[in-house]
Amino acid sequence: MIGLAVTREAIPVRVWCWPGNTADSALIRQVKKDMRDWALGRVIWVADRGFTSKENRKFPRQGAGAYIIGEKLRSGSAEAQAALSRQGRYKTVAGNLQVKEVRLPDAGDRFIVCFNPDQAVRDAAVREKMISQLEELITGSDQLSMTKRAELRGKISTMPGLSRFLRVTPGGLLRADRARAKAEENLDGKYLLRSADPHMTAEDIAAGYKQLLEVERGWRDMKSVLDLRPVYHRLEERSAPTSSSAGSRSC
């Protein structure tokens, strides 16, 4: 795993390399410790939706730090549901991105709902395609035995996108959950951000998180280049093995 600390303008100031199975919580502790020597006035941590636990959020706030974290829309958390249900006007910022700040009593953090109309169209198309695939899979399943139908249900359960819209009737029949699909229309084109910084504008919070998406896109683009130049990590010295069959390749 390769990590970068970057400025607001995306200029790298430091790089790290860790074993591929290192947990995010361990990474952020090391990075925070290493950055102390830089005497920075303020550090804003930007993290994706896998970092939203209360314990993870506590550490970046030490030493006057703050964070911008993506919140899972389908987490079922009371805060996420309350933020999404609040009424209010969106404000258009960079490009076609629209933002709306939601203040929740006693929440401590600020919540920013971001909406991209173009992404909403894509999300709706993807969902309709998944439901069509699901209906194609379960067509004729009413005539199957209970065992075969259970096997089909088990197969669909390994497909997260499709299984989300699968409904099983009291009689054990398989159906596409159109009510669930209708409810998810409210999430099309949206993502929810949580921030502990009291001074940044909603636009800056959205732009900060968008920077993370751009970094991740850059990593994906670089992987195709790195694949052409394998880096072998078989030994601590990072020396190249004598044959291509030895060691492993990572990027």
Mean pLDDT of the chain: 80
Enumerate the domain spans of the chain: 2-113+191-232, 119-184
Q: With 70 as the cut, is the pLDDT of residue 62 above it? A: no
Q: With 90 as the cut, is the pLDDT of residue 149 above it? A: yes
Crossing angle of helices 117-138 and 146-157, in 10° steps, is 160
Rg (CA), the chain: 23
How many residues does the structure list for the chain?
251
Alpha helices (H) in the chain, listed in sequence order: 24-35, 54-58, 78-85, 117-138, 146-157, 160-163, 178-184, 202-226
pTM of the model: 0.69
Task: Give residue-wise pLDDT tens across range 68-84.
Answer: 888 887 766 788 888 88
Task: Give residue-wise pLDDT tens across range 211-229.
Answer: 777 777 777 776 666 665 5
